[in-house]
Amino acid sequence: MTEQSQAQLAATPPMGWNSWNQVRCEGLTERVVLEAATALVDRGLAAAGYRYVVVDDCWQGGRDESGRLVADPVRFPSGIPALAARVHELGLRFGIYAVPGAQTCANYYDDYPDLGLGSYGHERLDAETFAEWGVDYLKYDWCRAEETTPYDRPQAFQLMHDELARLRRPIVYAISEYGQGEPWRWAPPMANLWRTTADIDATWPSIVSIIDQQAALAEFARPGAWNDPDMLQFGNGALTLAQNRSHFAMWCMLAAPLFLGTAVAGLSDELVAVLANPELVAIDQDPLGRQARRAVDGDAGQVWVRELADGGFAVALFNPTAEPRRIGASFEQLGVPSGTGAVVARDAWDGSERVLAEASVSDDVAAHDTRVFRLRLAA
């Protein structure tokens, strides 16, 4: 596969569901995966763009006599090829998890049995196995591979890239090393997405801190190659509606991959409507592929802006504080050209529109909430 076709694999940030934030290691079974896939379709989220169903760590049962990975027969009695086929029958795509070292993260952190699950020394066979199984997306996760391989990060991730590139089957390549080795500097175009931070928790401070860590990274994202601020904790823990809205809206502003990690069947209609909001999904999936930059960073709130393919801009007024705030920015701060005629701002939450009377965007933002406006410039 050429670098150009690798980029076309994820021309916009991939969207879907991943098992980890929902069931972690302990609760992973083929039933959970199928329930998620079915719920994506039934709740209209597949139609909204969520189409990759990714099985994270803890699916593996070891290797057979020929060294080939096999699934845990208790958790996945039907086997991975049958599961992938069921996911494909639903009109969705199937993803899986592997690591470049000898042990997976769950071997280190979740007491998962060490059965020789890592891809070190098996890279070609594992890539071929995944392609035969019908895998469309690979999450390849560092997990302390410096302890078990002679490779540095770029070498280890390049090795699997090269194996994937030999295959006839296109496989989106998501890498994860928690941002420790500044992957935004070397991962594109080798990988379609790279994690930029340590693991996200289902807490407000974790979400705010991850947003903060993305401020310096906007220039590195582009079609086919995305910063990944980690999967969504949307719907998890004790996150409030405002916090869930902010989490989702800011991931859309950041052109982030959007992976749900919650029990989709059990989400309230109100939360499903947030995830399926066509205005926000369109901002995340904007074909220009520009990640938002932070235009205003104050104690009383933040303003983020990204340029869109139609010549307009998406502006987010993000309130990380526990008080309602008036948050805003001038066109100059936003990089919006002024003096070109009327600018219309469309509220992404309710679809209402207004003409901006002054060369600025500002509004009241509830505690922990985010307002998003799509600016349309006069022709």
Interacting residue ranges for ligand GLA, rule: CB under 6 A: 20, 56-57, 104-106, 141, 176, 199
Nearer Cβ to ligand GLA, position 62 or 337?
62
Count of other CB atoms within 10 angstroms of residue 219:
11
**Which of 199, 201, 212, 363 is labelled catalytic?**
199
CA dihedral 293, 298, 299, 301 (to 10 degrees): -60
Residue 94 beta carbon to ligand GLA: minimum distance, rounded to whole angstroms: 16
Residue 263 beta carbon to ligand GLA: minimum distance, rounded to whole angstroms: 18
Taking the C-alpha atoms of residue 308 and residue 225, their distance in angstroms, rounded to an integer, is 17
Closest to 68 (Cα-Cα) out of 113, 127, 136: 127
Nearer Cβ to ligand GLA, position 25 or 348?
25
Taking the C-alpha atoms of residue 326 and residue 324, their distance in angstroms, rounded to an integer, is 7
Nearer Cβ to ligand GLA, position 32 or 276?
32
Taking the C-alpha atoms of residue 95 and residue 80, their distance in angstroms, rounded to an integer, is 10
Taking the C-alpha atoms of residue 187 and residue 174, their distance in angstroms, rounded to an integer, is 10
Nearer Cβ to ligand GLA, position 20 or 331?
20
**Which of 126, 141, 228, 230 is labelled catalytic?**
141
Nearer Cβ to ligand GLA, position 178 or 186?
178
Residue 100 beta carbon to ligand GLA: minimum distance, rounded to whole angstroms: 13
Phi (first) and psi of residue 153, to 5 degrees: -60, -55
Residue 106 beta carbon to ligand GLA: minimum distance, rounded to whole angstroms: 4
Is 162 catalytic? The answer is no
Is 111 catalytic? The answer is no
91 neighbors 46 (Cβ within 8 angstroms): yes
Closest to 9 (Cα-Cα) out of 157, 189, 192, 231: 192
Nearer Cβ to ligand GLA, position 143 or 281?
143
Residue 350 beta carbon to ligand GLA: minimum distance, rounded to whole angstroms: 34
Residue 300 beta carbon to ligand GLA: minimum distance, rounded to whole angstroms: 33
- Side-chain-facing half-sphere of 200: CA atoms under 13 Å: 30
Q: At what angle do helices 80-89 and 123-133 cross, to 10 degrees?
A: 40
| CA of residue 337 relative to chain centroid, distance | 31
324 neighbors 364 (Cβ within 8 angstroms): yes
Q: Strands 325-330 and 313-318, how do they pair? A: unpaired
List, by residue number, the catalytic residues.
141, 199
